[in-house]
Amino acid sequence: MPITLPALPYDLAALEPHLTKENLELHHGKHHNAYVVNLNKLLDGKPEANKSLEDIIMSSDGGVFNNAAQIWNHTFYWNSMKPKGGGAPTGKLAEAIIRDFGSFDKFKEEFTAAATTQFGSGWAWLVVDGGKLKVTKTGNADLPMKYKQKALLTIDVWEHAYYPSFKNLRPKYIETFLNSLANWDFAAANFAQA
**CATH tag, 21-79:** 1.10.287.990
Q: What topology does CATH give the domain 91-192?
A: minor pseudopilin epsh fold (3.55.40)
> Could you say which DSSP state residue 50 is in?
G
The Cα–Cα gap between 98 and 107 comes to: 8
**What is the arithmetic mean of pLDDT over 109-128?**
97
- pLDDT value at residue 2: 86
The vertex-30 CA angle with 25 and 31, nearest 5°, equals 110
* Residue 24 pLDDT level (bands cut at 50, 70, 90): very high
168 has pLDDT over 80: yes
Paired residues of 81 in beta bridges: 182
- pLDDT value at residue 1: 67
Least confident of 59-68, 149-158, 159-168: 159-168
Domain span(s) for CATH 3.55.40.20 in the chain: 91-192
Closest by CA to 178, choosing from 133, 139, 124, is 124
- Cis bond upstream, residue 17 (ω within 30): yes
Span 27-79, pLDDT tens digits: 999 999 999 999 999 999 998 999 999 999 999 999 999 999 999 999 999 99
What is the residue-averaged pLDDT of the chain?
96
The Cα–Cα gap between 151 and 146 comes to: 11
Domain span(s) for CATH 1.10.287.990 in the chain: 21-79
The vertex-124 CA angle with 191 and 29, nearest 5°, equals 95
Give percent of the chain with pLDDT exceeding 70. Answer: 99
| 178 residue type, one letter | L
Q: 15 Cβ partners below 8 Å, 6+ apart?
A: 24, 81, 83, 181
* Residue 152 pLDDT level (bands cut at 50, 70, 90): very high
- pLDDT value at residue 55: 97
* Residue 164 pLDDT level (bands cut at 50, 70, 90): confident
Span 69-101, pLDDT tens digits: 999 999 999 999 999 999 999 999 999 999 999
What is the reported pTM?
0.97
